[in-house]
């Protein structure tokens, strides 16, 4: 019994690490743009497809496919960032919702148009099991956790110490003042957007071997998983997002095992509502801002 619970918790941590990688990008984008990115799951999907194409069409090994997937996502994000997101600076919330919904439709259906709507088998990744403390885990899951920890460590350094991180924080505080002191707000927005989307793409490539199948509509579910996480984590809060993602991952894993698999996808929003009733500003922010 105890063993089974600890196994479920470890599974939950893996799921949480994936969510954390996707959600941290979305929360950073929210920080600089004040817009909820309803297309965020689509970048996860683009990353996965980038890697799938690299493996399926070019016969590349998985590690290179990871890079290919991330580059594909970054490229798509560059185009979208230049043509759409840049103009969303200071736009009303409604404009952001409509524009990102439009982008989600375009990306999702373009992929379906090019590759067909069916499920595709993702060949690659490290699926050999490893046993640690009596819990058997696929290597891929360990890789996911390791990458998540590394990425969060890197982001922490980037945000607190680098020039770009400082600019990002400045933009998320006050756009007008940044413009006054000569920070190129649009450049910061596009860079943050590319970084956030690339992280979503990376997590897509890393998860694909665990999920086995990839399909064009897979991003939507990810977006809906990520939204409650970034709210719970306190919008724009990187550390809060990490903990909220872990809580959600573990909660989902436990609910799927002990309550029923069909309830798994509602855990996020149900938890969110409970949390918001108790703390209307999220778990990790001291005051309500958005």
Closest CA to 191 of 174, 175, 212, 168: 168
Q: Where are the alpha helices (DSSP H) in 34-138?
A: 40-58, 62-83, 93-115
> What's the N-to-C CA distance of the chain in angstroms?
42
In sequence order, the β-bridge partners of residue 132 are: 135
Q: Is residue 101 near other proteins by the rule CB under 8 A?
A: yes
Per CB under 8 A, the list member of 137, 276, 283, 284 interacting with other proteins is: 276
> In this structure, are residues 169 and 32 in contact, taking their beta carbons and an 8 Å threshold?
no
Nearer to other proteins, 66 or 230 (CB): 230
Parallel/antiparallel/unpaired status of strands 135-138 and 129-132: antiparallel
Q: Is residue 79 near other proteins by the rule CB under 8 A?
A: no
Q: Where are the alpha helices (DSSP H) in 116-217?
A: 139-161, 163-173, 175-180, 185-211
Parallel/antiparallel/unpaired status of strands 129-132 and 120-121: unpaired
Stretch that binds other proteins, among 70-78, 138-146, 173-181, 273-281 (CB under 8 A): 273-281
Per CB under 8 A, the list member of 224, 239, 257, 283 interacting with other proteins is: 224
Per CB under 8 A, the list member of 5, 64, 93, 212 interacting with other proteins is: 93
Q: Give the footprint of other proteins on residues 157-176 (CB under 8 A).
A: none
Q: Is residue 94 near other proteins by the rule CB under 8 A?
A: yes
Nearer to other proteins, 91 or 142 (CB): 91
**Binding stretches for other proteins (CB under 8 A):** 30, 36, 84, 87, 91-95, 97-99, 101-106, 108-110, 113, 220, 224, 227-228, 231, 235, 260, 262-263, 265-266, 268-270, 272-273, 276-277, 280-282, 288-290
């Amino acid at each position: 019994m105890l063993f089974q619970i600890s196994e479920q918790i470890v599974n939950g941590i893996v799921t949480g690490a994936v969510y954390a990688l996707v959600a941290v990008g979305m929360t950073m984008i929210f920080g600089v743009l004040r817009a909820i990115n309803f297309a965020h799951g689509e970048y996860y999907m683009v990353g996965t497809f980038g890697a799938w194409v690299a493996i399926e069409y070019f016969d590349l090994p998985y590690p290179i496919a990871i890079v290919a997937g991330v580059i594909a996502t970054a490229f798509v994000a560059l185009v979208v960032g230049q043509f759409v997101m840049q103009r969303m600076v200071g736009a009303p919330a409604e404009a952001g919702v409509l524009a990102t919904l439009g982008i989600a439709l375009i990306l999702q259906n373009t992929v379906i148009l090019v590759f067909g709507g069916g499920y595709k088998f993702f060949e690659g990744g490290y699926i050999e099991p490893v046993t640690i403390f009596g819990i058997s885990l696929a290597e891929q899951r360990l890789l996911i956790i390791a990458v998540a920890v590394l990425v969060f460590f890197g982001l922490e350094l980037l945000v607190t110490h680098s020039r770009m991180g400082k600019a990002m924080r400045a933009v998320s505080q006050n756009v007008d003042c940044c413009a006054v002191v000569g920070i190129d707000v649009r450049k910061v927005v596009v860079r943050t957007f590319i970084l956030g989307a690339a992280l979503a793409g990376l997590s897509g490539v890393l998860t694909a071997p665990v999920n086995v199948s990839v399909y064009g509509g897979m991003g939507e579910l990810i977006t809906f998983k990520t939204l409650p996480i970034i709210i719970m984590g306190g919008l724009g809060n990187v550390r809060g997002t990490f903990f909220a993602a872990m809580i959600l991952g573990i909660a989902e894993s436990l609910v799927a095992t002990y309550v029923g698999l069909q309830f798994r996808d509602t855990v996020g929003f149900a938890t969110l509502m409970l949390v918001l009733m108790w703390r209307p500003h999220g778990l990790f922010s001291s005051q309500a801002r958005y």
